[in-house]
Amino acid sequence: MPTSKQFLVLLILVVVCLGIGFAGSFATSPNIDGWYKDLVKPPFNPPNTVFGPVWTFLYITMAVAAWLVWRKTGTFISTPMAVFILQLILNLAWSFLFFGAQNPLAGLIDIVFLWVSIVITIVLFWKVIPAAGVILIPYLLWVSFATVLNFSIWRLN
């Protein structure tokens, strides 16, 4: 059972990770029914209503994985946590590049770096506590799909 301090840290991590998604929505929301709607998309493009619930789940799992690493190491100042923060920054940047700047190519370049940073995060988290690495696998799978989708949108437009 987590202590009150551990629970507070988990709560803070959940708020931070969900906050990244919320911040990204400032770039995404104004463009979803305008610019994005008019793009040619591949047949495997999911409905817009899928993205919010999937990302909410993924941001929560990212927070839990980071919390497990923090619990095991007792610090946020470590290489695994630095790479975790980097992938959060790249995650946020994607929304502003793809949607905000309306630039699928810039989004594609960012998401490739994001994908690599997720793989590195998984490996580093796994070395600290394997469960933390495993928890991030759905995130890697979703970003892999998003990378293919981003590439397809770029090529079609």
pLDDT digits (tens, 9 = 90+) for 57-68: 999 999 999 999
Where does the pLDDT of residue 94 fall: very low under 50, low under 70, confident under 90, or very high at 90 and above? very high
Question: What's the whole-number mean pLDDT along residues 84-90?
Answer: 98
What pLDDT is stored for residue 31 in this prediction?
Answer: 78
Residue 39 DSSP symbol: S
* All structural domains of the chain with their residue ranges: 4-156
Residue 29 has pLDDT above 90, yes or no: no
Rounded to whole angstroms, the Cα distance separating 129 from 133 reads 7
HEC letters along 46-110: CCHHHHHHHHHHHHHHHHHHHHHHHHHHCCCCCHHHHHHHHHHHHHHHHHHHHHHCCCHHHHHHH
Domain 4-156: give its CATH code.
1.20.1260.100
Question: What's the whole-number mean pLDDT along residues 25-46?
Answer: 90
What pLDDT is stored for residue 2 in this prediction?
Answer: 78
